[in-house]
Amino acid sequence: MIISAQKQLEEILRLINNDPVFLIGCSECATMCKTGGEEEILIMKKILEQKEITVTGYVILDPACNLQKSKIQFKNVKENLNKAKKLVVFSCGNGVQTVSEIFENLEVISGTNTLFLGEIKHANEFEKNCIMCGECIQEIFNGFCPVSRCPKHMLNGPCGGSRDGKCEVSSNLDCIWNTIYLSYKKKGQLNKFKQILAPKDWSKSLEFKRVI
Ligand code: SF4
Ligand code: SF4
């Protein structure tokens, strides 16, 4: 799932600059992250109206990253959309750009920051597990990913700063190299650590379009 966080209200208000707005949410990831589901959109609508900002309407796209479906949904709210000067989108960055593609004449504001591709650990807790590098090499690490889960992207062992299994960058974070070590140890496969990897080929992350 794509994990996002709502921008600070002050920033959203600064971007809106008292203009009439139409609010756009997303039925999938942003709903799960509680950044752009119907509940959050209605709360934002109320907050903006209390600040005397005109909210001409809202829609929850299903989902915001689907260009053709979004176009159909927008047709149903055309009248309210036309009264707005700005569209505030509460989805991942992909959804924001889908909206921008559809509305050439309206200013589009992103109400969220898109953070990472993550696992849903609990209803309110997400963990970064992938940065979509374009060449998945998790099999080398027993199914764990230091590319995304080590802040230093260490590929050939830990940086040396880990203490008690925690990452030196953040004590909230398990050192992924500790996790990899323990998982290989459990399987009696510590010899796998002898393999030295060449630097990652980041050109694989440069695919911009795929047609299937
Ligand atoms: S190796 Fe790349 S594609 Fe695989 S999980 Fe890690 S970041 Fe994602
Ligand atoms: S402590 Fe572990 S996870 Fe943190 S930067 Fe070092 S190797 Fe990476």
Q: Measured from the CB, is residue 159 less than 6 Å from ligand 2?
A: yes
Residue 130 CB–ligand 1 contact under 6 Å: yes
Say if ligand 1 is within 6 A of residue 145 CB: yes
Residue nearest (by alpha carbon) to ligand 1 atom 4: 136
Q: Where are the domains of the chain?
A: 2-115, 132-193
- CA distance linking residue 20 with residue 22, whole number of Å: 7
Give the closest residue to 173 by CA, choosing from 162, 181, 184.
162
What tens digit of pLDDT does each residue of 3-53 get? Answer: 999 999 999 999 999 999 999 999 999 999 999 999 999 999 999 999 999
pLDDT in tens, 51-79: 999 999 999 999 999 999 999 999 999 99
Per-residue pLDDT, 193: 86
How far, in Å, from the CA of 132 to the mean position of ligand 1?
5
Nearest atom (ligand 2) to Cα of 169: 4
Cβ contacts of 35 within 8 Å, gap of 6 or more: 4, 5, 6, 90, 91, 111, 112
pLDDT grade for 2, boundaries at 50, 70 and 90: very high
Q: Distance (Å, rounded) from C-alpha 145 to C-alpha 142?
A: 9
- Tokens matching residue 136: 């998945």
- The confidence score (pLDDT) of residue 36 equals 98
Binding site membership of 137 for ligand 1 (Cβ less than 6 Å) = yes
Architecture of domain 2-115: 3-Layer(aba) Sandwich (3.40)
Angle of CA points 96, 99, 102, to nearest 5°: 155
Looking at the CA of 128, name the nearest ligand. Answer: 1
Looking at residue 10, its pLDDT comes to 98
pLDDT tens by residue, 144-199 = 999 999 999 999 999 999 999 999 999 999 999 999 999 999 999 999 888 899 99
Nearest ligand 2 atom to alpha carbon 162: 1
Nearest ligand, measured from the Cα of 149? 2
What's the confidence (pLDDT) of residue 109?
Answer: 98
pLDDT tens, position by position, 119-142: 999 999 999 999 999 999 999 999
Name the residue with higher pLDDT: 104 or 66: 66
Cα 100 to ligand 1 centre (Å): 29
Question: Looking at ligand 1, which residue's alpha carbon is closest to its atom 8?
Answer: 130
Ligand 1 near 133 CB (within 6 A) = yes
How many angstroms separate the CA atoms of 132 and 176, rounded? 17
Say how many CA atoms lie within 13 Å of 39 toward its Cβ.
Answer: 7
pTM of the model: 0.92
